[in-house]
């Protein structure tokens, strides 16, 4: 890891924080899994009247897909003109 290469107090501290971040991430994933399991159990227990509620909860639990902007220069659309270089 980082601390074994750099051998400084700062590298050791950074390594510890990285490990703590992964532990928190694992706990978050486990909590999400537990929530899904409980929701499935509730859905089996109740009838179709609550189907709308369960659908909304599942939609809220789903990760949102954020559209990212394309990287790089994008010329304005509709400009239609091209710049040519004279030699």
Kindly state whether residue 52 falls inside one of the protein's structural domains: yes
In a domain? residue 57: yes
**Total domains, the chain:** 1
Could you read off the pLDDT of 37-81 as tens digits, one per residue? Answer: 888 888 888 877 778 888 888 888 777 777 777 777 777 776 555
Domain that holds residue 40: 2-61
Cα–Cα distance, 16 to 19 (Å, whole number)? 5
Task: Answer whether residue 86 is part of any domain.
Answer: no
Q: At what angle do helices 9-45 and 51-61 cross, to 10 degrees?
A: 170
Question: Given pLDDT bands bounded at 50, 70 and 90, which one contains residue 16?
Answer: confident
Residue 79 lies in a domain: no
Average pLDDT over residues 28-37: 84
Across the range 27-34, mean pLDDT stands at 84
pLDDT band at 85 (very low <50, low <70, confident <90, very high): low
């Amino acid at each position: 890891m980082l601390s074994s290469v750099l051998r400084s107090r700062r590298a050791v501290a950074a390594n510890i924080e990285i490990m703590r971040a992964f532990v928190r991430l694992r706990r978050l994933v486990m909590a999400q899994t537990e929530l899904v399991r409980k929701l499935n159990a509730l859905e089996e227990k109740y009838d179709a009247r609550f189907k709308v509620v369960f659908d909304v909860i599942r939609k809220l639990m789903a990760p949102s897909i954020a559209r990212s902007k394309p990287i790089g220069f994008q010329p304005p659309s509709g400009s239609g003109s091209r710049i040519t270089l004279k030699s």
